[in-house]
Amino acid sequence: MMTVRKAHLEDAALLSQMGYSSYTHHFAHLWHEHNELQAFLFQEYSLPALQKELQNKASCWFIAEETAPVGFAKVSWHCPVDENGPTGTLLHKLYLLPGETGKGYGETLLAEIVRMAQCRGETFFWLEVLDANPRAYRFYTRQGLTHIKDTTFSTSTQQSTLHILGKRI
């Protein structure tokens, strides 16, 4: 049975390894420039970046485990979608390790995060998903999230459309 636990400072190295592994496996092909991918990975998943993140009270990281870790998630509580709202729990990341997709872990992890958000008094849940990731888009819509609007993620050499999805909880 999969369990979900809050990550702590001592989990930084594990999250770093899982972040590099899962992000590279699932998304490296979307990057046009290898150096931009490497800079993004360092910014998001280097040990110093994660040590700093895990001490930041504005967000929480979670580790999903079976007999070993299978994935992780990062959320921020009470974040507005934009200046006009709505405000709710923002799911920044929900990644499964290579070989761990299609086993129900994503649904279980997402449901547990929604449950935690409800326990905190949140009434809305939202996230951004890349247009170039239709599998994730279908996954989230199957979980009851609906399209709110689009935004853009830009690097110096490319632009990507992000779909903002959300649901009342």
Alpha-carbon distance 30 to 123, whole Å? 33
Alpha-carbon distance 4 to 73, whole Å? 10
pTM of the prediction? Answer: 0.93
Domain count, the chain: 1
Q: What's the pLDDT at 72?
A: 98
For residue 13, give both structure tokens.
């190295």
Is the separation of the CB atoms in 68 and 84 below 8 Å? no
Q: Which residues pair with 73 in a beta bridge?
A: 62, 94
Place of tokens 């992780």: 72
Q: Tell me which amino acid residue 20 is.
A: Y
**Residue 125 belongs to domain spanning:** 3-168
Low-confidence ranges of the chain (pLDDT < 70): none
User: Where residue 38 sits, what CATH number does that domain have?
Assistant: 3.40.630.30
